[in-house]
Chains A and B, each alone.
Chain A
């Protein structure tokens, strides 16, 4: 047990970077903790508001039909589904730590205790989401129904038990997958798979919540989805007995039969624990094999004759600057952690907006049609230019350019490359994505709102101009204050304050842009012309000044 506790503590520290309060020695540590708690509370309150609103709406819609108890079943199913997907993603991501984890097999610990500690880690992390989702429905129902104390006790027990079965199932799928599918044994594959599942889950959830909120007032829809044996909710409940068990336990406790409720909840907990223990016992061997096999190098070897032909066919001289730009492109866009948190926004954001539009077509359709008319041309132009400018400015390519290269600096600075050429290659790379973002954003909105072609061209030009300036400013910021001391690449990109400042700054500039067009009642075409001219001028002055700054700054960098 002592070894298990030590393992669990180590897993927590290495996964979340947490440390006990006794290790907080200075005010910075406490400040960071306070900041993390504040952000956590803010996020919980924000998401909680959505869930509470949804639960109250569901309750109010179901109550007149006498179906209010289904709120509990809905909460149990939603929590189980969320815990399953989030848990599955966390289990898959855990395999990325395999090289370090494999060293633990040399310690006198059983495979089962090691897997049990990982299971517990995933449970403790993901159960929080389950508790949150299920707890809200439970609380809304309990308060509205003035439920007795037994209901609350059974609810707490059920809330802790509910995440166990979906997590056991997630492990039962993940371990065989990782031990049999060779293509999954790399960090890239795990990142891509986790990313796709995560995005798909988030979008599906978004669609579900938005559609539900819209249609709760529709009695026919409500009856088709909530009431009766053939409805979606009942089918889902039947397919996943733990959620039905939790529902029955709570219904019983709410009706005064709290002993029956308690027994059902205890059965749920016992079942969950048995399933979890079975998963650990049966999967420990396979999990060990999967961890050891993870990251196996698969070299693509040529024959001797082919190798000579390969050298003659593939190596040829190009310019040094092209080599620098290609290096930037490959090192960022082939690293999923960088790509997903950087340029991928150009794909993701339009996709999210499209899903939102589909979900709320009736509310948004009218607004979009207004943008295309002669009256709304200016607003359509602004929407297209603003969205394009935001996509072109938010890729974080320039604002993290030097930080991302921190580890490579000692090797790069020893090469005969000018400091400005080196940084300019980063800017060119950023511009490639900025152009893509500006065009995707402005053209997509332009076509969607049926703007005139010339207006779309003007919007794209404005988006490009603004993106160019923001990217230059971002690179300047990261040159002045690079984040060079990091172990996790995410610290260079996602957790890099420069990236946040630039995204917020670009938002402020877009607001300013909209304000100036509306306040001065400028024609879109004239405004585009003026804006582009000003952008070119500012950019020319800016790049000349930046060149001097970059040379001085790179020369003084202490690459260790």
Chain B
């Protein structure tokens, strides 16, 4: 379970808030999709959530552990898949996974079992002795996924995880996310692929210009939209929102809801 309270971040020298007054809670047993246009603040939020960036204000807790006060304990509670898998090209796949296993202190027996299971699932078992530099982007992405799950984290954070994956791997990853959420874990991921968010997320958050526009289920977003059409103020979901500009029924796709929310269109 993650909790972000009053998070704000301005990059040094820019003067512009990358994230502003962000409150968010990802509960146990849910998949939370984090949506937003380019430069909205998604990656900054994920970097604050994973302890990579220090927020200017606010507090992050993972399973009740304060990330600022006990960073190592808090970081051991999650597994993270970065947005750029092109970082470890000089290592072999085995060396990368052993590195991750050693950092998280995964015992030998469990390590071998999990690698065997996950590498078979993502079709990487036969290339574990190869250099990561010889992998395609999708294979690197799969390797990062395996590395993030070696210690069986209760919380899983993924930044644009579907990029570069083939249909089978994408399907397997979504199934794995569902499985982990059903087992009581929390899954938080950012994506541009709205169909994926619509299909697997229990709740979504929409961010633009560093501010959270909406947080709740897709059904809640549709209801809000319908309510706005009838002239009611938006106060639903988990977060504050702005009024969608157009409304044409309650069964609109997430794509049109997203565009209305973020850009005030389609008109």
A residues with a Cβ closer than 8 A to B are: 297-304, 306-308, 310-312, 314-320, 322-324, 326-327, 330-331, 334-335, 407-411, 413-418, 555-556, 558-560
- Identify the interface centre among B53, B102, B127, B130: most chain A CB within 10 Å of its CB: B102
The one of A297, A308, A556 in contact with B134, judged by C-beta atoms closer than 8 angstroms, is A297
* For the complex of A and B, 8 pairs with smallest distance between CB atoms: A323-B102, A414-B50, A416-B75, A307-B125, A413-B52, A334-B90, A416-B76, A297-B134
The CA-CA distance from A327 to B91 in the complex, in Å, is 8
The digit string for B39-57, where 1 denotes a CB below 8 A from any CB of A, is 0000000010011111000
State whether B54 touches A555 (Cβ < 8 A): yes
- Alpha-carbon distance between A555 and B54 when the two chains are bound, in angstroms: 7
| Residues of B near any A CB (own CB < 8 A) | 11-12, 47, 50-54, 71-73, 75-76, 80, 82, 84, 86-88, 90-91, 94-95, 97-108, 111-112, 115-116, 119, 125-130, 134-136
Given known A-B contacts A298-B134, A310-B128, A310-B129, A414 and B54 have beta carbons under 8 A apart: no
Tell me whether B80 and A315 are in contact (CB under 8 A).
no
Looking at the assembled complex, report how far the CB atom of A546 sits from the nearest CB atom of chain B, in whole angstroms. Answer: 19
- The CA of A327 and the CA of B99, in the complex, are separated in Å by 7
Query: Of B73, B82, B86, B99, which is within 8 A of A323 by CB?
Result: B99
In the complex with contacts A315-B101, A317-B101, A299-B87 CB distance below 8 A: no
Residue of A300, A303, A555 with most partner-chain B CB within 10 A: A300
Query: Can you give 5 A-B contacts (C-beta < 8 A)?
Result: A304-B126, A312-B112, A317-B108, A407-B87, A416-B76
Q: In the complex, what distance in Å separates the CA atom of A335 from the CA atom of B135?
A: 17
Contact A303 B103 (CB under 8 A): no
* A317 near B87: Cβ-Cβ < 8 Å: no
**Complex contact B95–A311 (CB within 8 A):** no
Q: A299-B134, A414-B82 are in contact. Are A330 and B90 (CB under 8 A)?
A: yes
- Given A297-B136, A315-B108, A407-B87; A558-B11 close (CB under 8 Å): yes
From B75, B82, B105, B111, contact of A315 by CB (8 A): B111
Given A323-B102, A414-B51, A558-B11, A315-B87 contact (CB < 8 Å)? no
B-side contacts of A307, CB under 8 Å: 119, 125-126, 128
Q: A300-B130, A411-B84, A415-B75 are in contact. List 13 more A-B contacts (CB 8 A).
A: A299-B130, A299-B134, A302-B128, A311-B128, A314-B94, A320-B105, A327-B99, A330-B95, A331-B88, A331-B90, A411-B80, A416-B73, A418-B72
Please determine whether A301 and B72 come into contact, CB atoms closer than 8 angstroms.
no
Residue from the list A304, A314, A330, A411 in contact with B82, Cβ < 8 A? A411
> Within the assembled complex, what's the spacing in Å between the Cα atoms of A128 and B51?
52
Q: Measured between alpha carbons, how far is A316 from B101 in the docked complex, in Å? A: 9
| Choice from B47, B54, B84, B88 contacting A556 with Cβ under 8 Å | B54
**Residues from chain B with Cβ under 8 Å of A302 in the complex:** 125-129
Please tell me if the beta carbons of A318 and B102 are within 8 angstroms of each other in the complex: yes
Q: Is the CB of A330 within 8 A of B91?
A: yes
Cα separation A517 to B89 with both chains bound (whole Å): 47
Please determine whether A410 and B52 come into contact, CB atoms closer than 8 angstroms.
Answer: yes
A291 to B: closest C-beta gap in Å: 19
Assembly CA distance A556 to B53 (angstroms): 8
**Which chain A positions have C-beta within 8 A of B99?**
323, 326-327
CB distance from B43 to the nearest CB of A (A): 8
B112 in contact with A558 (CB, 8 Å): no
The answer to whether B103 and A417 touch across the interface, beta carbons within 8 angstroms, is yes
Contacts of A299 in B (CB 8 A): 127, 130, 134-135
